[in-house]
Homo-oligomer: A and B are copies of this chain.
Amino acid sequence: MASQTTNIPESLQKKGTPRAVILLSGGLDSYTSAAMAQAQGFTCYGLTVDYGQRHACELNAAYRVAKHLNIAEHKTVKLDLRAFGGSSLTDEISVPKNSDDLADSTQIPSTYVPARNTILLSLALGWAEVLGAFDLFIGANAVDYSGYPDCRAEFIGSFERLANLATKAAVEGKGQFKVHAPLLFMSKGQIIRSGHKLNLDYGITHSCYDPTKENLPCGQCDSCMLRLKGFDEAHLKDPLTYATTSMKE
């Protein structure tokens, strides 16, 4: 069980400890959302989908996060989305570097993986149903990922409605599914500050889209730049060592 179970709402305490399935990527967002779920009193089941990402370090980071949070169970499901292609994260398209309009961009970047969050949430839903869990947590963020259609509140709400029509558990009236996206409207700086308050160690996470052979984050891809900007906003130091840093002063 979790170490962060201090803020259990009274309503949840009465029901015992409800289970939640948490999508864990190994990045700082999903780590923070898992810790928030624990802080809300959920017994957490971590689901990592190995969808053919370019780097094993993302999966290793997910194992470290699951271990650090001491969650009830962690599963990795293999699903090769490279079969479909269409993204620089799973395909032979090059990862963009030193993008100018990082936060302001409303364009959908090449790092978008087609239907990714729909697929991830549907797998979380399948496992939740078997576990008797009705709560799914996803670290989606609409602020920094405004260009990703499946990181928007409308999408999260629509998936929640679907979940309540799609499953035996909901149809039999055993409960109502809730899709939690606690980071949805937070800036990266706010996310990092929240995690800092929960004593998270962001040194175990991995964010880079294009690490070096030595597994050092590049410091130049959109994900590294967002992360560094977030630590800057939070007035905290990123514990990771970067291959190079191109942050503008």
Task: Say yes or no: A84 contacts B126, CB within 8 Å.
Answer: yes
Interface size for A (C-beta < 8 A) is 44
- A87's nearest neighbour on chain B, judged by CB, is B130
A-B CB contact pairs (8 Å), 27 listed: A75-B84, A77-B80, A78-B78, A85-B130, A86-B129, A108-B171, A112-B168, A113-B126, A114-B130, A115-B125, A115-B126, A115-B129, A116-B126, A117-B166, A118-B126, A118-B166, A119-B122, A122-B122, A149-B170, A150-B165, A150-B167, A152-B165, A158-B158, A158-B161, A158-B166, A159-B166, A161-B161
> Using Cβ atoms and an 8 Å threshold, which residues of chain B touch A165?
149-150, 152, 154-155, 158
- Does A127 sit within 8 A of B, measured CB to CB? yes
Q: How many copies does the complex hold?
A: 2
Complex CA gap A115/B117 in Å reads 15
- Does A83 sit within 8 A of B, measured CB to CB? yes
- Does A123 sit within 8 A of B, measured CB to CB? yes
Contact pattern, A 96-111, Cβ under 8 Å of B = 1, otherwise 0: 0000000000001000
- Does A71 sit within 8 A of B, measured CB to CB? no
Among A138-188, those with CB < 8 Å from B are: 149-150, 152, 154-155, 158-159, 161-163, 165-168, 170-172
Given contacts A108-B172, A115-B166, A162-B118, are A78 and B80 in contact (CB under 8 A)?
Answer: yes
Among A164-221, those with CB < 8 Å from B are: 165-168, 170-172
> Using Cβ atoms and an 8 Å threshold, which residues of chain B touch A171?
108, 149
Q: Residues of A at under 8 Å CB distance from B?
A: 75, 77-81, 83-86, 108, 112-119, 121-123, 125-127, 129-130, 149-150, 152, 154-155, 158-159, 161-163, 165-168, 170-172
